[in-house]
Amino acid sequence: MDSAVLHQLVELANAFNRIGLKPVICGGVGIYLLFQDRSYEIRATSDIDLMIPHSQAVEEAQREAIAELITGGLKYVVCEDGRCFRFSKEPGQQLDILAPPIKEVTTEGERVKLVRSRLHGRLTPEACFIEEDLRTVDLVDLTSELRSAGPLLVSVPSPTNILILKLFAFADRDSDARRNEAHAQAHAYDVYLVAALALPGDYQEGRRFLTRHATSHVVQRTRTIIGAKFSTLEQSGWRHVLASSAFYPGRPMQARRERLDIARRRLLRWFEEQGLT
C-alpha cells in the first residue's frame, strides 16, 4: 500500500477510534484491506471512500463529532467540485464521504446532509445493507512499523456488499448520461478482483445475505446489472477488464480470457437466483 494512503488510514483510524467508532472504508482501499494477503493483484488507488453508516449517523451529537474530527482535528479542506462530501489535504490526500439513506437525516438530491454546511455524504442507496457482515481490520497487521501503535481498527464491507457497490458504480459510469471510460474500467476491474480473490467462506456468507434480501430492489437491480453487463465476456463489464493495462499484461489473449471467464462464472454463481440456501 502507498505510504501516503496508509498514513491517511492511520490518521482516520486513530481519530475515529478515539470517539469509539471504526471508519468504514470502501472503494479500492477497502478491497485492498479485504484481500491484503494477495494485494499484489489489486490496483493502486490514492483516494479513500469513507462510508458513514446508519449506526454512526443516527445521533446528531455523533454526526457533529465526525464532522469535527474530519474538518477540525484532521484538517481536511472541502473541495469545490464536491462541496461538503469531497475533502482533501496535503500531500494529495483525498477523502470522499458516502452515506446510505438515513431517515433521521435530511436528504436533498444526491446529498445526505449529515451536518448542514459542514459534512454531507454522497447518497448511496445501494449501501442500505452496508453494516451487515462488516469485517474488522487492524492496520497494525499491515506493517511492522505500526506494531507499537496498539490497535488501529477500521471496518470494511463484506465482499458481497463491495460487489454491489462496484456493480452499481460501473453501471452508472457505463450509462449514456454519465459515461466515463476510465472510471467504468476501474469499477469493472474491482468487480473482477473481488470475484477472483474471494474465498469459499465469502461466497457462502454472500449466499446467506442474498437469501435474507431476496426481494430487495437493491439485490434485484444488482442481478439485472450482472445480466446486462457481466454475464458474457463480450458484454461491457468484462470488455473493460480485458482493456485494462493492469490485467495480466503480456499474456496471450486466450489465456487472459480464460482467467477472466473463471471470475465471470464465479460472479454468476454468487448472485444466481436458483438454489439460494
Residue 58's alpha-carbon distances to 37, 55, 64, in angstroms, are 35, 6, 11
Phi, psi at residue 152, to the nearest 5°? Answer: -130, 90
**Taking Cα atoms as reference points, which of 40, 31, 53, 44 lies closest to residue 5?**
44
pLDDT at 276: 47
Query: At 218, is the pLDDT very low, low, confident or very high (cuts 50, 70, 90)?
Result: very high
Q: Among 116-120, 205-209, 255-259, 268-272, which is the least confidently predicted range? A: 116-120
Average pLDDT over residues 97-108: 95
pLDDT at 124: 97
Name which CATH class applies to 3-156: alpha beta
How many C-beta atoms lie closer than 10 Å to residue 30's C-beta?
28
Instruction: List every span in the chain annotated with CATH 3.30.460.
Output: 3-156
Q: Convert the pLDDT of each residue in 105-138 to its tens digit.
A: 999 999 999 998 899 999 999 999 999 999 999 9
**For residues 21 and 155, is the Cβ–Cβ distance under 8 A?**
no
Q: Convert the pLDDT of each residue in 9-54 to its tens digit.
A: 999 999 999 999 999 999 999 999 999 877 556 666 778 999 999 9
Average pLDDT over residues 165-180: 95
**For residues 124 and 51, is the Cβ–Cβ distance under 8 A?**
yes
pLDDT at 175: 92
1 Cβ contact partners less than 8 Å away, ≥ 6 residues apart: 29, 32, 39, 142
